[in-house]
Each structure stands twice: as C-alpha cells, then as structure tokens.
Amino acid sequence: MVKIVRVNNHCIRLRYGKPIDTESLEYDIQNAEELQTLPSLPLEIEEKENTIKLSYIMGEATKVLGLGENVRGMNKRGGLYESFCTDDPIHTPDKKSLYGAHNFLLVAGDTPFGLFIDYPGKITYDIGHTVHDEMYITINDVHADLYIFQHGTLKELTLSFRSLMGNSYAAPKWAFGYQQSRWSYGTKEEVDKILRAFEVNEIPCDAVYLDIDYMEDFKDFTVDQHKFPKFESYVRELKNKGIRLIPIIDAGVKIEQGYEVYEEGVKNQFFCLNNQQEPFVAAVWPGKVHFPDFLNPLARRWFGLKYKVLVDMGIEGFWNDMNEPSIFYTEDRMQSTIDMAKQSEGENLNIHSFFGLTHAFQSLFNHPDDYKKFYHQMEGTLINHKSVHNLYGYNMTRSAAEGLKEIDPDRRFLLFSRASTIGQGRYAGIWTGDNYSWWEHILLNLQMMPAINQCGILYTGGDTGGFSGDANGQLLVRWSQLSLFTPLFRNHSALNTRAQEPFAFDEKITRILKNIIKLRYTLIPYLYSEYMKAVIQHGVFFMPLCFEYEDDFSSEVEDQLLVGESLMIAPVYRENAKGRYVYVPEDMLMWKAVTEKIEKTEIVEKGIHYIELALEETPIFIRKNSLLILSKPAMNVDNLDLSELTVLGYVSDEAVYVYFDDDGVTRNYVKGDYAEVVIRVVYEHNQFAVTIENKGNHTLRKLHLILMGPDGSREERELLIDQ
C-alpha cells in the first residue's frame, strides 16, 4: 500500500508501509498535496516477498550519478553497491560500501530523474552489473519512503533535493586553512616538533589533529596528562599562534570502573543493549566498550554535552570516528574463533580448513552478523541495530553538533565525521576515511566530491597524500593540487607509514608544497564565499561538468570538476605525468599557478587539449564571464588580509560575482548578518567597465583587478571600495 504526496514542483514522495522516521530531511509536509492516483513514474516499483524492488532499463548512453561516498567513477553504472555504513579501509573498486550510506541517485537518461530512498537499513544497488542495460534496487523491507525528482535538469533536480534538507552546517572560516594530521602526534613534544617545522619552513597552517593516542587508554573525553601535560594552557598557547588542536572522539565508550562516561552511561541506560537487555559489549581500540545509544534522544544529549570538557579547555573542533560503528570483535565470536584455532592444533590443514581458519580471524573485524546483536531504544521500543544501522554515525554527529550548540550557542565549531547518512549535512561535514597513498585515490577523491555534495554534505575532503601506505613527494604534490580546492584540506597518514608532512620529503617537494599551501590561502576568499553561498542557498560547491554544460562530451568527463561558479579544475592524477588531457567545454582562462602570483595565464579554447603541467604547476580554469577573488597568502586564516583583494576575471560579455563574507566564527550569518560585495564587469567595445556594490563589507578597501577579454585584451586596474 503506497501513499503519495507531492513535496514540491520536482518531487513526489511514495510512502510504503510505516517507515522509521530517519529525520534525514526537514521540510514542511503539512500542506503537501496527497495524490490519489499514482503519476507516471520513470522506473518500475514492485512490492513482493517482503521487499520493495525498483527496476529501470538504461539506454546505452544512460549514466547514473550519485551514491555519495562510494567507490568507482562518477557514473556508477557497472557496479554493485550496498548502502550500509562500513569501516573498510581498503577502497578498491570491488567494494560495495564505504563509511556513508547515501541513497541518492541521479539517472541521466533520455529524461533525467532523481531518486532518494529514505530508509535506514541496507539497500542493494545493481546498476548494470548483472545485466548491462538494467538497474535493480532492492530494499529488504516494506517500509520506506521513496522520493522521486523529475522535470528538470540534473542540477535542478539536485537543488530540489537539497531544498528538502534543512540548513547546512557551516564550518568556521579557519577550517578553510591548511590542516595537518597523523595517527598520531601522540605527545606535546611531537606536536611542537611538527609546528616548529611549519614555522622554520614558513608554511601556513591552521590546525593540528590529535588522533586516538592523546587520550588515556582510548577513553573519550580524557586527555593523557603525561603525553599532554597542562593541556588547557597548551591549547590556548597554540591558539595564540593561530593553531587549533582538533581531537578525535570515538563511538565506543571504554568499559572501566570509575570512568565517568562509562558509569553514567550504564546508570542511565544510555548504551545499546544486547538481547538480554544488558549493555552490549563490543571491542574497539581500548578493548571492550559499550556503544552509546545515539538513537535515544536522552543518550544523544548526554553524550553531546560531554564535549564540554574539551571545549572548556579551548577546543574548537572535533572529528568523530569509528561511528559506523566499527567493531573489532564481539566476545562470543572471538571465543568461537579461538575454539576453531584450538581444534586446528596439530591438524594437517588443507586449502579448505586453512583458509577457513584464517578467514575466521580476518572476518572478526566488522562481522555483518555482529550488527544484529544489539538494540536501540527508540520511542520506548527496542529496535534491532541492523535495521537502523545507517543512522548511527549520523546521530553520533548530531549528538556532538547539538551538544556543542548547547555548550556554546554562538560559536561555529569544526566538526566532521567518518560515518554519515543523508541529513548529516545539517550537523557536520565528513572526510572520506582511510584511503591509500595510491594515485588512483586522487581520482577517487575527486570523483566522490560532487556526489557527496549532492547528498547535502558540503564540508568535505580526503586524506591528502593518502592515509595507508607510503606516499612519495610527487603523489603528495599532485594530491594537494586537488585538495587545495576542497573545503577540508587536511594531510593525514597512518601509523607505521612514511612521514607525510609537507616538509617530510626533499627540498624541492617542500618548496612546491609550500607554494601550493600558500596558494590555498590566496584562494580562501573565493572558496569560503562559494562554500557559504552553498550553505545559505542550499546549493552545492562541487559539480560535475554536466551540471552546467549540456554537450555530450561534458557528461563523459570523470576527472574534472566545477568548483563554485567560477572555476573548473583538472588535476594531474597519474604518476610521472608531465601533463594531462583536459576537456574545456567553453573558452576559459587557464592559470598554471606556481605561486600565488598571477603568471602563466592564457585563454584556452573550447575543445580537447593536452595541457603540459610541470610538477609545480596547479591548473586553474576560470570560466568564461567569471571572476575569481583572491587575497595575499598568510600564515593562517586569522591573519588573512581581506582589506586588499585581487580579482582575476575572464569576461567576454558580462561577469557578476557576489563576494560573500562574514565573521567566520559565529552563527550570525543565519540572521542575515553577513556582507556581500557585488562585482560586475562588462566588456563592450574592447573596454572593461567595472561596478562595485558593497553590501555591508567593512573590511575591504581596495580591489586590484586583472581582466582578460576574449581577444587577448588584458587590463589591470585598482578600485577603492566604498564602505
């Protein structure tokens, strides 16, 4: 039995059964029109055998975008996927699920449509894997909301979906600075050593991360006083230097008598329960833990307010981890696996018994059946975890976001999570988890960005240089040439891998990376402006080319992105490559940026090009009739001089750019307390005419304009800004 409502011009919702309220979306359904007859649908939907099955026949040219954070290309066709938040650190193309569950598809066939499946358990997608032209989606349940978006372009359908998500999370401006991480800078001495190297090398930096080793025995909301003595004054000392410390918080709470978080959780029944209605035991970093029941609003508030102990010490940013949740093992599975080992003792193990044994140990980690072993208290009833699995990380992050808002209502905290689902974009960003120092993962990082944005998560980025494995300098340079455009630009690497800081390689690499990071700071006025506009206008920051260009070739491009409204990027992602092929869908101004200085610019004509790109050259393409606003670099975001900015423009007719800015620290932008400077450049009769409208920016004093016209004309001028 299906109940249909029209949600907006583009969207209808089909409600099957009585779905669990995931709170993924936030929109006013009160006055929505209920439809009495099923409108024509772009795909087949069938309820049978306690499942809902969706099917669609794809034409040879049909592309299927979406699925947020996942493996394979932008076009998901050919793959099998599952939406089931999974801590799998090896992102090879055969994997079905990563950390997020992002059930949004954009089907680009003859008539484009979008599909969002609002359902918190596992969904499987066969997108032309089994049969080249056929797509099948299976929900093993009869309770789900399906949202279908029609009658628009891919971009319009995406924006229609975005409009249902509520207000997006806005990171503070300093979170657009360069950030340095490692598992782990485990002591004050190590952090100091790293920061000294940044200083000596004069490389800007805004934040240093504390991975799990800063805690006492991996206990959330504790700081090991031996490793970080006088933590509070250390946090403030670094903040005076423009450096924030960002500690990690894990989902599992260590079982330890006397540990306050553990004791309070047990006392108040805030932990997930096993089938005996006792707190469920799993093992993660510290050994045995309980999982807070983030689906219980009381537990969620309790945990969220725990962040106060660190906020009170001056912490302004957190990353939430292991919140799929990741489970190393459960006690009974460990026992049965050890029993298997004992039974193998002295046996002549052959192919079957040998791999049976080693596989048993291997599959202790995040065993799917372990997710059936615990329960949540939702509105007074116990719900098995597996059926709401994808809500866990989301609600942990919501817990943090709501807690932080209660702790310090006005402050914007940096907050991002590993696990996520759609809706989480209201509370935080995500990073793309434990990638590898593989060249393929630069491309994967690029390809995920627009798909994650489609799901409403705007603050995002990958572990630059790769988490696992050993990077070389060249890889880190090329990866950084992508990450310098992602809102989160963080270099992070794993235990036992090669050091990966920008100064960990040779002098030449250090010099190049320093220039790239300085270039990042130069780009912050533009990146922050575009990000905040996407936040406020429920838009996206990254787009595939086909969102803006309708030619067939644009929809084939899988290795270039539009970044905000003015830029296209095309980073190199092949080892030793001296350049790359770039498709330029309209005439653009190319800037091969070596430093923040605007040199090596040229107009590139619409079409296919092989662009030579030396290791130190970052390619930046400014779209036709577009402007890019730039500052001078600084050693951190707080020190950016935003009183004098540069505008680099390529204008054949008219370009209008709205430069957004606000305090970058408070939530006042929500009340409209922000500034816009409207910069308009008209090119007519071989002349540029520039007009500026200042709506409330009291910082900007001067604009230096560098304008290029279609015929090779170039003009520089300076303008004073009225306050």
Residues 41-100 binding a copy of itself (CB under 8 A) are 60-61, 63, 72-73, 75, 77-80, 90, 92-94
Query: Is 224 a binder of a copy of itself (CB under 8 A)?
Result: no
Beta bridge partners of 681: 655, 690
Query: Is 695 a binder of a copy of itself (CB under 8 A)?
Result: no
Q: Which of 48, 226, 267, 342 binds a copy of itself (CB under 8 A)?
A: 342
Token pair in block for residue 333: 């599975």
Query: Is 703 a binder of a copy of itself (CB under 8 A)?
Result: no
Query: Is 241 a binder of a copy of itself (CB under 8 A)?
Result: no
CB of 218 to a copy of itself, least distance (A): 7
- Dihedral sign for Cα atoms in the order 79, 431, 281, 372: negative
CA distance 473 to 582: 24
The interface region with a copy of itself, picked from 105-113, 297-305, 553-561, 638-646 by CB under 8 A, is 553-561
Our CB check for a copy of itself shows the closer of 199 and 332 to be 332
CB of 288 to a copy of itself, least distance (A): 5
CA distance 547 to 555: 8
3-state helix, strand, coil in the chain (%, to 5): 25, 30, 45
Query: Is 611 a binder of a copy of itself (CB under 8 A)?
Result: no
CA distance 525 to 523: 6
Q: Which of 221, 234, 280, 436 binds a copy of itself (CB under 8 A)?
A: 436
CB of 528 to a copy of itself, least distance (A): 33
CB of 373 to a copy of itself, least distance (A): 18
Does 232 qualify as catalytic in the annotation? no
Contact 413/317 with Cβ under 8 angstroms? yes
CB of 271 to a copy of itself, least distance (A): 17
Question: Which of 21, 51, 55 lies closest to 139, judged by CA?
Answer: 51
Query: Is 201 a binder of a copy of itself (CB under 8 A)?
Result: no
The per-residue DSSP string of 249-313 comes to EESPEE--TT-HHHHHHHHTT-B-B-TTSSB--EEETTEEEE-B-TTSHHHHHHHHHHTHHHHTT
Contact 106/157 with Cβ under 8 angstroms? yes
CB of 119 to a copy of itself, least distance (A): 25
Our CB check for a copy of itself shows the closer of 507 and 654 to be 507
- Cα angle 659, 551, 163 (rounded to 5 degrees) comes to 45
Q: Which of 434, 463, 586, 661 is catalytic?
A: 434
CA distance to 678, 680, 699, per residue, from 692 (Å): 6, 6, 15
What is the chain's Cα-based Rg? 26
Query: Is 558 a binder of a copy of itself (CB under 8 A)?
Result: yes
Q: Which of 293, 324, 370, 596 is catalytic?
A: 324
Q: Which of 576, 605, 685, 712 binds a copy of itself (CB under 8 A)?
A: 576
- Cα angle 121, 127, 130 (rounded to 5 degrees) comes to 110
Contact 166/116 with Cβ under 8 angstroms? no
664 SS3 class: coil
CA distance 373 to 384: 8
CB of 647 to a copy of itself, least distance (A): 33
CA distance to 286, 545, 553, 710, per residue, from 550 (Å): 53, 8, 8, 22
CB of 395 to a copy of itself, least distance (A): 25
Our CB check for a copy of itself shows the closer of 287 and 710 to be 287
Query: Is 131 a binder of a copy of itself (CB under 8 A)?
Result: yes
CA distance 438 to 278: 44
Query: Is 133 a binder of a copy of itself (CB under 8 A)?
Result: yes
Does 370 qualify as catalytic in the annotation? no
The interface region with a copy of itself, picked from 116-124, 184-192, 281-289, 370-378 by CB under 8 A, is 281-289
One-letter identity of residue 587? D
Q: Which of 32, 283, 313, 658 binds a copy of itself (CB under 8 A)?
A: 283
Query: Is 17 a binder of a copy of itself (CB under 8 A)?
Result: no
Query: Is 115 a binder of a copy of itself (CB under 8 A)?
Result: no
The interface region with a copy of itself, picked from 170-178, 286-294, 598-606, 631-639 by CB under 8 A, is 286-294
Binding track over 174-193 against a copy of itself, x by CB under 8 A: --------------------
Q: Which of 100, 186, 252, 286 binds a copy of itself (CB under 8 A)?
A: 286
Q: Which of 69, 88, 250, 321 is catalytic?
A: 321
The interface region with a copy of itself, picked from 233-241, 329-337, 643-651, 660-668 by CB under 8 A, is 329-337
Judged by CB under 8 A, the chain residues 344 through 383 that form the site for a copy of itself are 344-346, 348-351, 354, 357-358, 361-362, 364-365
Query: Is 297 a binder of a copy of itself (CB under 8 A)?
Result: no
Within 10 A of 9 (CB to CB), how many other CB atoms are there?
11
Question: Which of 625, 606, 696, 711 lies closest to 659, judged by CA?
Answer: 696
Q: Which of 8, 474, 694, 699 binds a copy of itself (CB under 8 A)?
A: 474
Query: Is 262 a binder of a copy of itself (CB under 8 A)?
Result: no
Distance of CA 15 to the CA centre of its chain: 29
Judged by CB under 8 A, the chain residues 500 through 519 that form the site for a copy of itself are 505-506, 508-509
Our CB check for a copy of itself shows the closer of 23 and 440 to be 440
Query: Is 138 a binder of a copy of itself (CB under 8 A)?
Result: no
Query: Is 214 a binder of a copy of itself (CB under 8 A)?
Result: no
**Exposure of 343 in the CB half-sphere (CA atoms within 13 A):** 10
Query: Is 110 a binder of a copy of itself (CB under 8 A)?
Result: no
Q: Which of 112, 120, 456, 473 binds a copy of itself (CB under 8 A)?
A: 473
Phi then psi dihedrals of residue 175, to 5 deg: -75, 0
Query: Is 332 a binder of a copy of itself (CB under 8 A)?
Result: no
Does 47 qualify as catalytic in the annotation? no
Contact 265/290 with Cβ under 8 angstroms? yes
CB of 110 to a copy of itself, least distance (A): 16
Q: Which of 470, 644, 676, 715 binds a copy of itself (CB under 8 A)?
A: 470
Our CB check for a copy of itself shows the closer of 300 and 580 to be 580
Q: Which residues contact 463 (CB under 8 A, 6 or more apart)?
A: 181, 431, 432, 433, 434, 435, 490, 491, 492, 493
Query: Is 285 a binder of a copy of itself (CB under 8 A)?
Result: yes
Q: Which of 16, 176, 218, 371 binds a copy of itself (CB under 8 A)?
A: 218
203 SS3 class: coil
CA distance to 54, 398, 452, 616, per residue, from 64 (Å): 14, 30, 14, 35
One-letter identity of residue 662? D
- Positions annotated as catalytic residues are 321, 324, 434
